[in-house]
Chains A and B, each alone.
Chain A
């Protein structure tokens, strides 16, 4: 058992599951998308990215890039939320909610790719 691989696998999977939890539900209904879940997904995704810094293998590099894509999408979702609620004061209208959720949907896709890469890497392993 390799502790590093356990921790990394845990964070990758957790990032995907949290993201999925936030994403699921009617896209325009704010009460179905808890902002704390978005926050948790973003934090876990950032940690997963940091864990992959410095890997020199090809698959490690692709891992890093998909993680970065997920981060970017989630940050964009968070910024949209903050703008609507605190800057412009529009609040969570159906329009704003659907923007936030669809951005997190993009992140979900990147997270799924990450999980697939994780599986591929595990299958390649000899130990």
Chain B
């Protein structure tokens, strides 16, 4: 506020001084010119008060005719001069003011101030998203749908303007500024008491690195999730304790290798970490055997390394890479290159160049040559999503999706990271069974994963019940509040009881106050359960069908058995 106010004052200095001078000259002159009375006799000039009053309405072109006595010719002469003088003075001020309002610098000062005020006034916990490209936008949408507050910082002004045009449920505080500047981060609420975490997901990994360092130094208590492309930067970020580093290429390579080695476990992880309430991903069963890799840059290398570890032989096509098979020319978009690479006997192909059109061309040619081939396509830009959907590769890798999914999953439910870590030792059969249960619970959409702690602030009714009336089991409480005979379609993944982790507790598991539950299910089921845990009457109904809302009268009525228990 202050800086804009002082900027106005500074710019308006000259016009205001000119205006004061003109007024002073006009008023002083009017007090010197003699007047005339009704009989035509000379009269004394106007007093200062009357002169100022007259000039005030004349100068602003309001033009009252309120002073009753007619002017003398001398006064008329002077007033004529005054009228032109004051109009000039006012025009000068108004023009300066308008020029100031249109000034880019002034406008950006106003925008920054407004943004700062909005961030300062945030009352709920929020995340800071740095970079609002494809990844940042996806994260923002997910947060918006889940009702989670967030602040956006983006270098590109166009993208910030576009945010207003997209149909977000809430009005998002967004600033167009360079996130490398610590000042920008501080303005965006880095040291705000309600900040929960920072996502450094710009396209430039050096910027992400700078953000991660700034957060570590300025507010070491909050988690940072950073996106990295090259192993060097990732190692650099890890060296000063960045909480979570996401390299989309490495991550995809991990997924692909896991899908080859342990398809059920991969399916389960995919379900749990996908963006909530998005269409169910199709089942991927990449075969072992020999694969062809087209494009051996950072992505191809990452995937290649993991696949080799999973026991897959690779044929590499890339004219620019020294690791490529020397006897194969071309980049894989032509049929004879692929034939030379032995596509007829291969089981899979990875179209992994950094050019979407080339990737599609490789994938389409490959499918024509060998229809049984498992095709992995790399999609570099979200905008080409339609083309890739139309082609329907067996597995499409979209870097922005991978980063968005993982950062949302890790940041919003820290318990999920622990569950995923526990999964590494889980066997395939159990993973497959759990994946089926999740699909049963959620139908055609992916589950939302959330955690709830049975304490006084998050689940007051449940907490009181546990403290006062004793324990209840999961089967008791996971019931639909509309009709308690139906079970809520929710899967309890993990219970954290004072540090002890209970994985996949069964229905007879008895809850205790202070337990933290990790649950998966649809948003609708979540709202249903939240209301049950929050409202004592609802909890009573869900636990034992009592509908008496706990009043003395209601209990008496129920005890008489006259109708309080009658089902709806």
Q: Do A and B come from one complex?
A: yes
List the interface of chain A (C-beta within 8 A of B). 1-5, 7-8, 50-57, 60, 126-127
Taking CB atoms, residues of chain A closer than 8 Å to B531 are 126
Q: Does B482 contact A (CB under 8 A)?
A: yes
Taking CB atoms, residues of chain A closer than 8 Å to B550 are 54-57, 60
Once the chains are docked, how many angstroms separate the CA of A95 from the CA of B469? 55
| Residue pair A51, B553 in contact (C-beta under 8 Å) | yes
Chain B, residues 545-559, CB within 8 Å of chain A (1/0): the string is 001111111110110
Query: Given A51-B551, A55-B550, is A127 in contact with B537 using a C-beta cutoff of 8 Å?
Result: no
Once the chains are docked, how many angstroms separate the CA of A32 from the CA of B538? 45
Binds A, one of B20-28, B201-209, B385-393, B560-568: B560-568
From A3, A53, A57, B562 is in contact (CB under 8 Å) with A3
Once the chains are docked, how many angstroms separate the CA of A89 from the CA of B556? 44
Taking CB atoms, residues of chain B closer than 8 Å to A7 are 553, 557
Cβ-closest 8 pairs across A and B: A3-B563, A56-B536, A4-B554, A54-B551, A126-B482, A54-B552, A127-B568, A51-B553
Taking CB atoms, residues of chain A closer than 8 Å to B551 are 4, 51-55, 60
Which secondary structure dominates chain A's binding surface?
A: loop
| Residue pair A2, B537 in contact (C-beta under 8 Å) | no
Q: Does B535 contact A (CB under 8 A)?
A: yes
Taking CB atoms, residues of chain A closer than 8 Å to B541 are 127
Once the chains are docked, how many angstroms separate the CA of A53 from the CA of B538? 17
Q: How far is the CB of B95 from chain A (nearest CB, A)?
A: 55
A-B contact pairs, 7 of them (CB 8 A): A2-B568, A3-B563, A56-B550, A57-B549, A127-B481, A127-B482, A127-B547
Interface size on B, residues (CB 8 A): 28
| Residue pair A2, B535 in contact (C-beta under 8 Å) | no
List residues 332-356 of chain B with CB under 8 A from any CB of chain A.
none
Taking CB atoms, residues of chain A closer than 8 Å to B37 are none
Once the chains are docked, how many angstroms separate the CA of A55 from the CA of B555? 11
| Residue pair B549, A4 in contact (C-beta under 8 Å) | yes
Taking CB atoms, residues of chain A closer than 8 Å to B458 are none
| Residue pair B568, A3 in contact (C-beta under 8 Å) | no
Q: Which of B481, B552, B554 has the most CB of A within 10 A?
A: B554
Nearest CB to that of B558 among chain A residues?
Answer: A4
From A2, A50, A60, A126, B553 is in contact (CB under 8 Å) with A50
Q: Does B483 contact A (CB under 8 A)?
A: yes
| Residue pair A56, B537 in contact (C-beta under 8 Å) | yes
List the interface of chain B (C-beta within 8 A of A). 461, 464, 481-483, 528, 531, 535-538, 541, 547-555, 557-558, 562-564, 566, 568
Taking CB atoms, residues of chain A closer than 8 Å to B558 are 4
Once the chains are docked, how many angstroms separate the CA of A68 from the CA of B321? 83
Once the chains are docked, how many angstroms separate the CA of A56 from the CA of B546? 14
Nearest CB to that of A2 among chain B residues?
Answer: B547
| Residue pair A127, B483 in contact (C-beta under 8 Å) | yes
Nearest CB to that of A3 among chain B residues?
Answer: B563
From A52, A54, A57, B535 is in contact (CB under 8 Å) with A57
Taking CB atoms, residues of chain A closer than 8 Å to B528 are 126
Once the chains are docked, how many angstroms separate the CA of A50 from the CA of B555? 13
Taking CB atoms, residues of chain B closer than 8 Å to A50 are 552-553
Given contacts A4-B547, A56-B550, A127-B547, 14 further A-B contacts (CB under 8 A): A1-B566, A2-B547, A2-B566, A3-B564, A3-B566, A4-B549, A4-B551, A4-B553, A52-B551, A55-B551, A57-B550, A60-B550, A126-B538, A127-B482
Once the chains are docked, how many angstroms separate the CA of A2 from the CA of B553? 13
Once the chains are docked, how many angstroms separate the CA of A1 from the CA of B528? 21
Once the chains are docked, how many angstroms separate the CA of A26 from the CA of B535? 45
Nearest CB to that of A51 among chain B residues?
Answer: B553
Once the chains are docked, how many angstroms separate the CA of A126 from the CA of B532? 10
Q: Which of B528, B551, B564 has the most CB of A within 10 A?
A: B551
Taking CB atoms, residues of chain A closer than 8 Å to B549 are 4-5, 55, 57, 60
Taking CB atoms, residues of chain A closer than 8 Å to B566 are 1-3
Nearest CB to that of B460 among chain A residues?
Answer: A58
Taking CB atoms, residues of chain B closer than 8 Å to A52 are 551
Once the chains are docked, how many angstroms separate the CA of A53 from the CA of B564? 17
Once the chains are docked, how many angstroms separate the CA of A1 from the CA of B564? 9
Once the chains are docked, how many angstroms separate the CA of A6 from the CA of B548? 12
Query: Given A51-B551, A57-B549, A126-B481, is A4 in contact with B564 using a C-beta cutoff of 8 Å?
Result: yes
Q: How far is the CB of B548 from chain A (nearest CB, A)?
A: 6
Nearest CB to that of A52 among chain B residues?
Answer: B551
Once the chains are docked, how many angstroms separate the CA of A127 from the CA of B553? 20
Nearest CB to that of B541 among chain A residues?
Answer: A127
Taking CB atoms, residues of chain A closer than 8 Å to B537 are 55-57, 60
Once the chains are docked, how many angstroms separate the CA of A107 from the CA of B281? 60
Once the chains are docked, how many angstroms separate the CA of A86 from the CA of B555? 41
Nearest CB to that of B548 among chain A residues?
Answer: A4
Once the chains are docked, how many angstroms separate the CA of A126 from the CA of B548? 14
Taking CB atoms, residues of chain A closer than 8 Å to B564 are 2-4
Once the chains are docked, how many angstroms separate the CA of A53 from the CA of B531? 22
Q: How far is the CB of B534 from chain A (nearest CB, A)?
A: 9
Once the chains are docked, how many angstroms separate the CA of A51 from the CA of B564? 14
Taking CB atoms, residues of chain A closer than 8 Å to B547 are 2, 4, 127
Q: How far is the CB of A44 from chain B (nearest CB, A)?
A: 14
Nearest CB to that of A50 among chain B residues?
Answer: B553
Nearest CB to that of B528 among chain A residues?
Answer: A126
